Chain A
Amino acid sequence: QVQLQESGPGLVKPSETLSLTCSVSGDSITRGVYYWSWIRQSAGTGLEWIGRIYTTGATSYNPSLKSRATVSADTSNNQVSLELASVTAADTAIYYCARENGGHYWDLWGRGTQVTVSS
């Protein structure tokens, strides 16, 4: 079955760049049916969509992140990545990758990874 697994540092210093990877198994991220999204959850802001990438490489982002986010794909390793620049304590959250079906809903989620921003 298809599985998503997030990985990356659990601690990032303020003003640095947060980098996470989502490894997809059981399906190819190049199959032209799904988008691949990053979503985060914190006690302060709840669930918040960050951005997504399609098989063509086209991306879209939540405007509230003010261009700090970059989502990319490594098709040779079947991975999707997230970079979030200039982080602050407000970026402390659990980060999930999720499969978006037809651009309408997320039908498969990774387990999530906790990221804390602190010096």
Chain B
Amino acid sequence: IQVTQSPSSLSASVGDRVTITCRASQSIVTSLNWYQQKTGKAPKLLIYGASNLQSGVPSRFSGSGSGTEFALTIDSLQPDDFATYYCQQPFTRTFGQGTKVEI
């Protein structure tokens, strides 16, 4: 099962609402996870099971979707949110290619 993210990069401003999408090559029900990675750091879990917010993650992050189409939304983008975001499906443990969110 492959997962494909779009876009590969985007430019946004502080306060913007940003949406990143992830498409699976076949239905994965609601089994999709999202991670944030900053330069030089390990990935950090944001969302699991498509829409469950990991403990300690700000509520401006949300996940949605099921089947083959999923989305990560960041409401009111903050300076700390400029990073690369990855989706990941747990069946074959593959990651998307990443979406870099730039200023």
Contact = CB atoms under 8 A, between A and B. Distances in A.
B65 interface: no
Given A47-B86, A62-B93, A96-B42, A107 B54 contact: yes
Interface in A27-56: 46-49
Contact of A112 (B42, B93, B98): B42
For chain A, which range describes its interface: under 10, 10 to 19, 20 to 34, or 35 or more residues? 10 to 19
Interface residues of B, number: 19
Interface string A63-83: 000000000000000000000
A46 B95 contact: yes
Contacts, number: 43
A46 B98 contact: yes
A111 B54 contact: no
B48 to A, nearest CB: 4
B45 interface: yes
A57 interface: no
Interface in B13-62: 31, 33, 35, 41-45, 48-49, 54
Interface of A: 46-49, 62, 96, 98, 101, 103-107, 109-112
30 contacts: A46-B97, A47-B43, A47-B86, A47-B88, A47-B95, A47-B98, A48-B95, A49-B95, A62-B93, A96-B42, A96-B43, A98-B42, A104-B31, A104-B33, A104-B48, A104-B49, A105-B33, A105-B45, A105-B49, A105-B88, A105-B90, A106-B33, A106-B35, A106-B43, A109-B42, A109-B44, A110-B42, A111-B41, A111-B42, A112-B42
